[in-house]
Chains A and B, each alone.
Chain A
Amino acid sequence: MTTPTAHPAPQANSGPLDIAAIRGQFPILDIEINGKPLIYLDSAATSQKPQAVIDSLVEYYSSFNANVHRGVHTLSQQATDIYEDTRVKAQAFINARDAREIIYVRGTTEAINLVASSYGRANVGDGDDVIITAMEHHSNIVPWQILCDERGANLKVIPMNDDGDLLMDEFEKLLGPRTKFVSVVHQANSIGTVNPVKQIVEMAHAHGAVVLVDGAQSAPHIPVDVQDLDCDFYAFSGHKLYGPTGIGVLYGKYDLLNAMPPYQSGGEMIASVTFEKTIYADLPAKFEAGTPHIAGVAGLGAAIDWVQGVGIERIAEHEHRLVEYGLQRLNEIDGVKIIGNPKRRAGLISFIVDGVHPHDVGTVLDSQGIAIRAGHHCAQPVMAHFGIPATVRASFGVYNTTDEIDRLYEGVQQVFEVFG
């Protein structure tokens, strides 16, 4: 055997999903929390992992472990094959033109840091503008703040309204000859808004600006085609896409990546080194210094296979039903307020409960086995916009059911009993 077992598509890739069969592939969904079956409504933080992904890690370490691109021996070649095959899977998954446009990183955070410090330092100067949105995750704010501080550039923010939709007219006004970079979240992790990124890219390109799309939340929930979006960079994390932690992808257009200086340096990323001069390796190795997370890459490959087997469109449809049902049920409860009412929403619902802090809601729900996130979701400016310190966030994955949403509904009722 020279390649790992292909993990068969979990079911026929058409028609409605058999959620019971899907749940059966996630061993963690069988555990109990506080004596109650686990109801996992925190997939926006990290998704659970199907058996195929768990197996791929064991299989990698059991049968294929070796360093990549280094050995003449067979095992190293097999590890390299897994590593490079996954790159092609990732390329296909987001429809990149070329596998060399796929750079492995630790996750979305590292991808954005890479672009801010490599592309940003080389291209953003004194008096230039970088534009982000009012609904960014901290990981798409802080790297740009640091860059702008260092370069004397201005960080500008596209505002949003109380529905949680961006004000596109205001965006148009922010754009100008000094706009060098626009970095926008595709799907906001705090309120679930799906932003019109294709239009944003078009508008930014009209002013010669380069655009990064933070796809941490969109990659697992909606079909993504980077050529159709025409974004210059796109970042996502494996762990939110049913894959392992510690591995993610930065997509960048070939010419941009090729012109960028390295981010980290060392082994793997060089063509030749003398003490006088180092010639960098070609893409993608130039951006992959050091021994990478090879097992994570194997797991990412298994995760992409798994998602493709189920079908991202069908996942999106199922989750859309969950969101609609969740909104309907939560709206039935007096004293629950849903935060944001965006034109397009995916994957999650953020809400607050009258007179009860989200932490306390979280503790009561946890006693029912219901895992939600309570907090500011690494998006404090969003909380500030709505004048609240935190929200309760129920976020969905392909394995969630409307029954679980009914349990959430009952759990919230119990919050009123405790705090009544």
Chain B
Amino acid sequence: MRETEDLDELYRDVVLDHYRSPRNSEPLESPDAEGEAINPFCGDEVRVQLSLVDGLIDGVSITGVGCSISQASASLMGEAVKGKNLPETLAIVKAFRALMQGRSRSDDDAGGEIDLGELMALEGVKRYPVRIKCSLLGWNALEDALKVIAAV
């Protein structure tokens, strides 16, 4: 049974804040990698740009249109990966996907030690199966961009 408390779990203040004031929403001038993801069923989109300095993600740009969950998740994601190297970033991606799929993080070797920090505000999404794909949209775009980096 899903009642109003559940809605508050979904729409936590942090999530609404990132939806209303997305972080890192300025495009980068010379990104090292770009990725994009579109949900054909609803038209939501997220674009990710990354720039690297000494193997660390130095600049992040997250732009897009869509629902609160897709846009807030992408914004929180941008904050989470800033300053991280490639393996650390991949570990965050893995841990976040595990969170959305409702797997307990101790089941997951790679995700086990990762502290998702503010991203945990999105935990309530896993109780709304139809919204999980909203929440993962930006992450698909990020993975797109990371492939470019890994290939370099």
A contact set with B: CB distance below 8 Å:
34-35, 356-360, 363-364, 366-367, 374-376, 380, 383, 389-390, 418-419
Beyond A358-B67, A367-B7, 16 additional pairs, beta carbon < 8 A = A34-B1, A34-B2, A34-B3, A35-B1, A357-B67, A359-B66, A359-B68, A359-B131, A360-B11, A363-B10, A363-B128, A364-B7, A366-B2, A383-B43, A389-B43, A389-B65
Q: Please indicate the chain B residues that have their CB under 8 angstroms from the CB of A367 in the complex.
A: 2-4, 6-7
Nearest 7 CB-CB pairs, A to B?
A359-B67, A357-B67, A34-B2, A35-B1, A389-B43, A360-B68, A375-B42
Cβ B134 vs Cβ A359 within 8 A: yes
In this complex, what residue of A is CB-closest to B43?
Answer: A389
Residues of A within 8 A of B131 (CB): 359, 363
- Of A356, A359, A367, which is in contact with the most chain B CB atoms at under 10 Å from its CB? A359
Contact of A357 among B1, B4, B68 (CB under 8 A): B68
Chain B residues near A366 (CB-CB < 8 A): 2
Residue of B nearest to A378 (CB): B41
Name the residue on A nearest B65 (C-beta). A389
Is the Cβ of B42 less than 8 Å from the Cβ of A359?
Answer: yes
Kindly state the separation between the CA atoms of A389 and B43 in the bound complex, as whole angstroms: 6
Task: Contact check, B44 vs A389: say whether CB atoms are below 8 A apart.
Answer: yes
Residue contact B42 to A35, C-beta cutoff 8 Å: no
Q: How far is the CA of A34 from the CA of B3 in the complex (A)?
A: 7
Give the residues in chain B near A376, CB-CB below 8 Å: 42-43
Q: How far is the CB of A170 from chain B (nearest CB, A)?
A: 27
Residue pairs across A and B with Cβ atoms less than 8 A apart, 6 shown, are A34-B1, A34-B2, A367-B4, A367-B6, A375-B42, A418-B7
- Please, how many angstroms separate the alpha-carbon atoms of A418 and B10 in the complex? 10
- Distance A375 CA – B11 CA, assembled complex (angstroms): 20
Residues on the B chain within 8 Å of A419, using CB: 11, 16, 68
Residue picked from B43, B69, B128, most chain A C-beta under 10 Å: B43
Q: Give complex CA distance A358, B69 in Å.
A: 12
B contacts with A, residue count (CB < 8 A): 22
Could you tell me the distance between the alpha carbons of A35 and B6 in the complex, rounded to whole angstroms?
Answer: 12
**Residues of A contacting B65 in the complex (Cβ-Cβ under 8 angstroms):** 389
- Asked if residues B42 and A390 are in contact (CB atoms below 8 Å), the reply is yes
- Kindly list chain B residues whose C-beta atoms are within 8 Å of the C-beta of A390: 42-43
**Docked CA distance A269–B6 (Å):** 55
Closest to A389 in B: B43
Q: Given A359-B131, A376-B43, A383-B43, are A389 and B66 neighbors across the interface (CB < 8 Å)? A: yes
Residues of chain A within 8 A (CB-CB) of B69 are: 359-360
B131 CB → nearest A CB, Å:
6
Cα separation A363 to B127 with both chains bound (whole Å): 12
Instruction: List A contacts of B43 (CB < 8 A).
Output: 375-376, 380, 383, 389-390
| Least CB separation from A375: chain B residue | B42
Q: How far is the CA of A390 from the CA of B41 in the complex (A)?
A: 10
Report the nearest A residue to B44, measured CB to CB.
A389
How far, in angstroms, from A35 to B4 measured CA to CA in the complex? 11
Alpha-carbon distance A374/B16, docked complex (angstroms): 19
A363 to B135, CA, bound (A): 14
Q: Are B66 and A375 in contact (CB under 8 A)?
A: no
The residues of B that contact A356 with a CB separation of less than 8 Å are 68
Question: Contact: B3 with A35, CB < 8 Å?
Answer: yes
Complex CA gap A360/B73 in Å reads 14
| Nearest-Cβ distance from residue B104 to partner chain A, whole angstroms | 25
Collect the chain B residues with CB atoms within 8 Å of residue A374's CB: 42
Q: How far is the CB of B84 from chain A (nearest CB, A)?
A: 29
Minimal beta-carbon separation of A186 from chain B (angstroms): 25
Per-residue A-contact encoding for B1-37, CB less than 8 Å = 1, 0 else:
1111011101100001000000000000000000000
In the bound complex, what is the Cα–Cα distance between A363 and B66 (angstroms)? 14
A207 and B36 alpha carbons, distance in the complex (Å): 46
